[in-house]
Every structure is written in C-alpha cells, then in structure tokens.
Structure 1
C-alpha cells in the first residue's frame, strides 16, 4: 500500500507543480495589466513606457515583455478588460429583472459608478480617445452596449412614429444611440471638470432629458442617487 501511495504522489506532483506555475503566471499577467491600466488612465497611451508598467508592477521590463510583446499589446489587453467589465455590469443588471427603461437607466448608472471608481474603465475610455495613436487594432467602442440598450428599449418604446406624441417618435435604435453617445460624452466632460465625481448625477440628467416621463423608472433603480 505504501508503494502504491508513493506512486500516486509521484505521478500527481508534476501536475500540481504545473498548475501552480499557471496560477502564478495568471496572477503576474493580472498585475501587469492592472499596472498598465493605471498608467494609461493617468498618463495616456503616448506617455506610457514599458518601464513605467514594470516599475509599477514591481518587476523587470523583461518580465513584462514575457507576457506582452509591446505597449500595443498592453493597450489591446486593457481595452479587452474594459469590454469584459462592461459586460459584467450588463449581466448583473439583466439578473435584476427590472422593467426595460429602468434596466437601461440602471445600466447607465452602474456604468457611471464604475467609470468613477474603477481604473480599468478609466483606462479603456482614454485608450478609445487615443486609438489612432495605437499601433494595433483595438475593439470598437460600445457596440454591444448599444445593441443591448436597443433590445431593452424595443420592449417599451413604440417602433412607429406617433405625430401626437413626439417623445415616442424616436425608434429604439435611435434612442439607444443617442443615450450611449450622450452618456459617454457626459463621462468625458465629467472627467475633465470633476474627475468623474459627479458622473452618476450627470447620467440621471441624461436619462431624464432623452427619455421623458422616465422618473418612475428611475425610482426603481437600486443604484440611482437619492435626494
């Protein structure tokens, strides 16, 4: 029995070691990515160097290059992280089962809070503004986000224009496009003026202006600023 036990452990040890190395590699990549996001958010793509990222992550330039071949690759990875985080926020809102307009407002508010508080989103937004300076193709901004809002609004907004009700004349697609454009414009202005501190309040103002009579829907949003 002892021999058999020894055989079992001798077989499993390499697998355990490999798994531990993979876990360490994942943690290292995450640390590099977090450092890159912080650098891009604070300084912008052109001013960031691999040395900046390495020093912030507490490692050598060689260690950064082991995981990401250049600064462009880091920019792509941070943008993908941005998109994943937006997707997580959207899925969390879907799980609430809110009415369509309330879901749209809640999604925008939660995104506003994330922009205010999370470095990855701040970095992703800045990289989108600087995309022409990046030597790699980064994912296009907000396409899935707009499609999701369109699908929610389609359940609530009448698709045909109603001459007697101007607020209902815009299609769900148009409303979604205008909402997303206004929101991301608002986050940029809030960033420049107030470091995004007032972005949730600006977001509520955007929803109220673009979707008239949305007050009752906003009241159903658990993340809506009160008072």
Structure 2
C-alpha cells in the first residue's frame, strides 16, 4: 500500500506531466500544477523543490519506462526479431497512451529551456536493439551483410524519427500503422529470408488482403 507521501508525489507528477505535455515547460506554472493535482504549492515544493526538478522527475520516469518494456519482451520461445518488433509496438503504444512518456518526450525536446542536467537518451535503446540483433544473427535470422551495431543505430534513428513525425502530423493517433509501414520497409534489408508480412502478422495480427504489400519478384 502506498504511503500518503507516495500518493501525493504521484498525483503531482501525473498532473505536471499532463500540463507539460499540453502546454510545454514554459507554459506551465507550479500554480497550474497545484490546481490540477489538488495539492498546495507548498506540498509540491516539499517533494520537488523547483519546477526544473519536477520536469526532470517526469523525464526520469519517461526513461524508466523503457527497461520495464524491454524486460517484458524477454519471453522464452520467441525469436529475437519477433521480440524486437513486439518491443517497438509496446513503445509506440506507450508514447501514444502514457501521459508521462509523452510528456517526457516533449520536455526532452524542450531541454534547452530547462536549467537542469538531463539523462543521456537513446544509448540504452541502441544497446537493447543491438543485443536483439546480435541474437537474431546467431539464430540465423539476419542477412549475412547486416552488422548488428550499425543496424541498431539505424533502427533507433528511424524509430524515434517516426515518433517525431507522427506526433507532429496526427498526435500519434496512427503510430502503430506508421510503425507497420516502417517495418515493411526495414525488414527486407534485415531478414535472411525476407518475409515482413508474416513476421508483422505474428506480432500484430494479419493485415486485410487489400493492405498487404505486393509480392517481390525475383530478378533474372
């Protein structure tokens, strides 16, 4: 059972995340967070001491989400590329549905306006993707020319670039469909025996026939 202090800290964090996500860092005040959370300004300052440190707490919680999602995909019996795709969709849904994750992403983009040292992003993600690709190579899933470290960097760049574009265009409402399009593009270059539609169907469910990509034709 959570203590009263823990309940207060979480209520403040979630209220701050919602406001930071909607209004940005500069457009949010401690008074706004107090009104939304139902906690006094004094209680907020007792737990976080400044708006900068409250923003940092949201960003840290954003980053703390990723190890949990990575651990959830460490399922015995699934091949590494399937685990990588499942992880990517779990992250996409977190960006879309989890207000703290979404707010953390916005605050990171506004980091130059926040006078506090920030965690280094993407390093853990690249390491996790590289490890999965190394496992995929050992299992014979990767094409011989694929170098896991280089591919991991490219996949992470493409993946988080996709999130930025999806957020700008439609608030990430179509992020899962956008991610499916990205995997249809990337998997033929990664897989030893390219069959992106089958792997995506295993992860996400079969696509309607009208949405399946046209089959590739072998060259003479």
TM-score, scaled relative to structure 2: 0.83
Instruction: Map residues 185-200 of structure 1 onto 2, 5 A cutoff.
Output: 185-200=161-176
Corresponding position: 1:109 with 2:89: yes
Offset, 1:143: 1.6
> Residue 218 of structure 1 is aligned with which of 191, 200, 207?
200
Tell whether the 8 Å contact from 1:51 to 1:61 is kept in structure 2 after alignment: yes
Q: For 1:101 and 1:73, how far apart are their aligned partners in 2?
A: 38
Measured at CA, do residues 168 and 197 of structure 1 come closer, stay the same or move farther in structure 2, by a change above 3 Å? Answer: farther
> Residue 146 of structure 1 is aligned with which of 112, 116, 126?
126
Corresponding position: 1:170 with 2:150: no
Q: For 1:32 and 1:156, how far apart are their aligned partners in 2?
A: 42
**Corresponding residue for residue 160 of structure 2:** 184
Q: Which of these two proteins has the greater Rg computed from alpha carbons?
A: 1
Q: For 2:14 and 2:150, how far apart are their aligned partners in 1?
A: 35
**Corresponding residue for residue 109 of structure 2:** 129
Measured at CA, do residues 96 and 125 of structure 1 come closer, stay the same or move farther in structure 2, by a change above 3 Å? Answer: farther
Q: Deviations over 1:7-26 (max 9, x none)?
A: xxxxxxxxxxxxx9x70000
Q: For 2:176 and 2:156, how far apart are their aligned partners in 1?
A: 14
Measured at CA, do residues 34 and 102 of structure 1 come closer, stay the same or move farther in structure 2, by a change above 3 Å? Answer: same
Tell whether the 8 Å contact from 1:109 to 1:224 is kept in structure 2 after alignment: no
Offset, 1:181: 1.1
Unaligned runs of 5+ in 2: 189-193, 209-220
Q: Deviations over 1:46-99 (max 9, x none)?
A: 211111111110121111001001111011111111112122111111136421
2:135 counterpart SS class: coil
1:94 counterpart SS class: coil
Measured at CA, do residues 125 and 60 of structure 1 come closer, stay the same or move farther in structure 2, by a change above 3 Å? Answer: same
Tell whether the 8 Å contact from 2:8 to 2:39 is kept in structure 1 after alignment: no
Q: For 2:98 and 2:31, how far apart are their aligned partners in 1?
A: 23
| Matched length | 199
Q: For 1:79 and 1:121, how far apart are their aligned partners in 2?
A: 8
Offset, 1:123: 0.6
Unaligned runs of 5+ in 1: 1-19, 159-164
Q: For 1:110 and 1:224, how far apart are their aligned partners in 2?
A: 14
Measured at CA, do residues 98 and 48 of structure 1 come closer, stay the same or move farther in structure 2, by a change above 3 Å? Answer: same
> Residue 32 of structure 2 is aligned with which of 32, 36, 52?
52
Q: For 1:34 and 1:135, how far apart are their aligned partners in 2?
A: 21
TM-score, scaled relative to structure 1: 0.81
Q: Deviations over 1:164-202 (max 9, x none)?
A: x9x642311111111111111111111111110100111
